[in-house]
Structure formats: structure tokens, C-alpha cells
Amino acid sequence: MGLVSVLLISFCVLSISLVGTDNIVVGIPTTLDGPFKPVTVPLDKTFRGHAVDLPDTDPRVQRVVQGFEPEQISVSLSTTHDSVWISWITGDFQIGDSIKPLNPKTVASVVRYGRLRFPLIHKATGYSLVYNQLYPFVGLQNYTSGIIHHVRLTGLKPNTLYHYQCGDPSIPAMSSTYYFKTMPASGPNSYPSRIAIVGDLGLTYNTTSTVDHMIGNNPDLILVVGDVCYANLYLTNGTGADCYSCSFSRTPIHETYQPRWDYWGRYMQPVTSKIPIMVVEGNHEIEKQVENQTFVAYSSRFAFPSKESGSSSAFYYSFNAGGIHFIMLGGYIAYNKSAHQYKWLEKDLAKVDRKVTPWLVATWHPPWYSTYKAHYREAECMRTAMEDLLYQYGVDIIFNGHVHAYERSNRVYNYTLDPCGPVHITVGDGGNREKMAIAHADEPGNCPDPSTTPDEYMGGFCAFNFTSGPAAGKFCWDRQPDYSAYRESSFGHGIFEVKNETHALWTWHRNQDMYNSPGDQIYIVRQPERCPTEPQVTKLWRIWKTKLITEYLAKSRLLFYM
């Protein structure tokens, strides 16, 4: 046997030993190996990045279409694989003292699509709208958007490439031909290859690095966990700052510069026109304006499968991506047990069939288990309201943003290590202008005053001192908490790859690394036989209900034969 043959056989044996069944790579740690001792990666002071926004002169954010030709084109998912939303904008925005909103009825919302590039044999129509950002103060510039179009395509086949054009063929003003791929059909052995998770993205030079890196990893779906373009770091005259309250403390109302939304949509179009993007609101989307209106840009610019998932709000909804059920929750809308969001969540969780969608993933903006000083325990009221419900239904993973750093937890529930608790992952490191979070609350002198940590938007305060455990009687731990497995301050994004019913690979990528070099990587392993996936009371109710129905039917038959 020749040397080449020996080497080839050795390589094949090595390959088999490294990759097990279902493409599980041996040597990568799993949550079954945990809980892990807390790790903090020291700050690399040589890498601070260029946290400066792209200017409006950058060709990537300038308007390149004419008249009512479509721009800012994006694809988003509906609740199941057989439907998607196509969104775009026609006509230019206006900003100034005197604006005249466009009439949405003057431009039709049409999408032609098909499995072949030509001819596009199917046609769908949708609806359009215009939104305004208005201020009740002299000297502030008002804004009105172009015409925003949303069209839902239905009857699509799973895991299939479709081509499409959008616009108004009667003008004519149609886009070029783009394409997207539908999600796999829901099932325990059916998953998208890669899902990108990114938060607090913004539109800086760091953002461009993050997006380039993310696209290099070929995602099938992108989740943005809040804080999209940071238009509210600007005055209406276009003057921006890293810290609005620091630089513009005397402004009569928190202004925003809405063209940043258009810049973001233009910059992202090469990505979002091909890869579905799902978004949940962050605090930078609040954007208060006249008559106390909030979240108007967020609610107008994106299409959400709210109605399809039984929600009455753009702030919370759910959808399936193969065998994964995603729940998108709102951290800035009422979440207590009497609120519509909580009641919707109960119903949505109760409908999840873990035999069809084994993986249950939840996302919202402010994290519950971040150990950074920035926003420390800020979402404690939301945690106390919703954590029990998510735990009882066996949520596997929770993704958050808000804190501009990366952190992965051990499995945790109620601040206690728990093999059935979810893994919490904070990815608020997309590259926004406000720069990195660096200080940790457990470091000497960094523990914030509890009075500074309430949920300002919802008006609640629930972050009291710990009553048990290593931090009993204190507001902060005096070391990295046991529930924190890994934390690092660096810009980046994450890739989520579900391999089968029990194993999912999570990889966090730093912007400064090579595309195939992970900063943090772990298999998240489900143990459905060990951890219940619904409340015991629900199981008892189902048993009792079945018994009642059986008894009723038996009596009905008896009466029928009498």
C-alpha cells in the first residue's frame, strides 16, 4: 500500500471520528458538559472599531431609483413556509417645515413571482401606507415617508427558490428581478441551514463589517433583536451624537432624524431583498412624536405575521422556520399577566406541537441575564412576569440585544443554575454608534444604584436585592455570576444551526476574526425526556377534559339507544 493511500485512509478515519451522526462535530463543547465556570475575555484595547455612522453622502445610502421605482426592498416570513411578505418603498421622503404626504392610492402594490425567472406567472396585490413623524414645536423639521408597500405571497412550496418583481406595472415602475428561498416545511427533521442573529445594528462602519461578515456565513434567515438604525440619536436637522441625552439635554422633545431609516433600508436592500429578515422592536424604535405616538416608523416599515399568528400587535408575534417555533416578544409594551401580550403568549405556547417544532426559541430586546453595568437588571419586571411561563413550556434558547456586548449564559431559571432552563444569549454587539459596553456590574465600584435601574418605559421597578445564593442581600454579585458562562466586549454576530431534534450549534463571530474562526461556539442540547415542555396543570386539564368528553359521549350513546 502506497504512502498516498495510507494518508488518504487515515484522513477518512480522522474525518469520521470528528463528525458524528447528524453532522455533530466531536470536540465542540455542549451544554451537557456544563454548567461551565464563568469566563470573561479581557478587553482588546487595540480593537475599538470605527463607531461612526455612514454619512448621507455614502453611495450605499443614496437614492438610486427614479420616480416611483421600488427601493428598500425586503422579504419577511409569515407564520409558515407557504407564505412570505414582500415590502418596498416608492417615492422619496420629505423633511422640512412644509411637507405634503404622498397619496398611497396613486401607486399600486403588485408582486409578480414564480419558480422560474421568466415568465413570472403568479401575481399578488397588497396594501400601502405613508407615515409621518411630526413635532408640536416651532423649528423642528417634520418628516413624511415615501409610499410603503406590503404584499403577502401565499401558496408557496417549502425549501424552494422563487423569483419576483415588485412595483406598479401600470406606471410602469417595476423593480429588477430578485429571488428568495422559502423555509423548509415544519417537522422534527427539517431546518434552515443557518440563521443569523444580530442586535443593535445601527448604520456605522462597524455595521458594514458585521453585515459583510454575516453574509459571508450564508444565512437563510436574519433575526434583528431590536435597535435597528438609531435614527433617534439625531436632531431633525441631521446633527447626530453618540449620546442623545448628553449632547441634546435641552431639546423640548426627543427628536429623531427619520431619513436614517431610509439610509438603512437602502444599505440593507442587497441583503434583505434575498434573505428574509424578522425584526422585533428595541428602545431606539420608540421615537415619541406629536400626540404621544410611538414606534410609528417600526410599525410602518416592516411587515409582521401578527394577524397570521393570532396577535393584534406588531410588537409580538410568532412564526415557524422548519422545526423551530420562534416567539418574538415586546419589552416595551405591557407584559404583565393581565396584558394582551401575556394572554397571547399563553395561547401561542399552548398551540406549539413539539413533535412538529421541537425547538422553541424566544427573542426580545432587553436581556434578563446580562451581567454588564449597562442596563443591569433593567428588564426585571418583564422577567418576573414571564419567566415562569417560558420555563414551564420548555423554551430552549432566548436571544436578546440592548447591551452592546456578547454574553452567553449557562442554563438558568430564576437566577439559579437549572438543567431545564433556557440558554440566554445577548448579541447587542452589531456595531451601533453608542459603542461597546465594557464595565461589568460585579466589578468593584460598578454596581449601579438600584434606583437607577427601573423599566423607564413601562414604569416598573422589580430589581430588589437577591434573597438567596452567593449574592444574598446584595443587588450585584461580587464576582462573575455562576449563570454567566462567557462574556466579551467585541462587535459581531451569531449563527444558529439546528442539526436535529436535540442538537443546535451556536457560533458567535467577532468582526475582527476570519470568517471561519468562531469567537464562541457550543452545541445547545435539548433533553425533552428530562425536562417537561408544558405546565403540569395543562397536562392535568387535558386529561380531565378528555375524561369529561368521554363520559359525555358515553351518556349520549346511552340516551340514543334508550
Cα separation values, 341 from 317, 327, 333, Å: 9, 11, 8
What sign does the dihedral 179-185-186-190 (CA atoms) show?
A: negative
Spot the catalytic one: 81, 213, 284, 375.
375
375 is catalytic: yes
Q: Residue 444 belongs to what H/E stretch?
A: none
Tell me which residue of 487, 495, 493 sits closest to 512, measured CA to CA.
493
Angle, alpha carbons 306-312-344 (nearest 5°): 90
CA distance linking residue 413 with residue 421, whole number of Å: 5
Angle, alpha carbons 10-11-14 (nearest 5°): 85
Q: Residue 395 belongs to what H/E stretch?
A: none
In 10 A of CB 222, how many CB atoms?
25
Per the CB < 8 A criterion, the answer to whether 361 and 393 are in contact is: no
CA distance linking residue 196 with residue 193, whole number of Å: 10
Backbone angles phi, psi at 111, to 5 degrees: -125, 125
Per the CB < 8 A criterion, the answer to whether 423 and 360 are in contact is: no
- Which residue's C-alpha cell is 399577566? 337
End-to-end CA distance of the chain: 87
CA distance linking residue 176 with residue 77, whole number of Å: 21
User: Which amino acid, one-letter code, is at 194?
Assistant: R
CA distance linking residue 445 with residue 440, whole number of Å: 10
- Which residue's C-alpha cell is 453595568? 373
Backbone angles phi, psi at 555, to 5 degrees: -65, -35
Backbone angles phi, psi at 393, to 5 degrees: -90, 5
Per the CB < 8 A criterion, the answer to whether 226 and 401 are in contact is: yes
Active site residues: 375
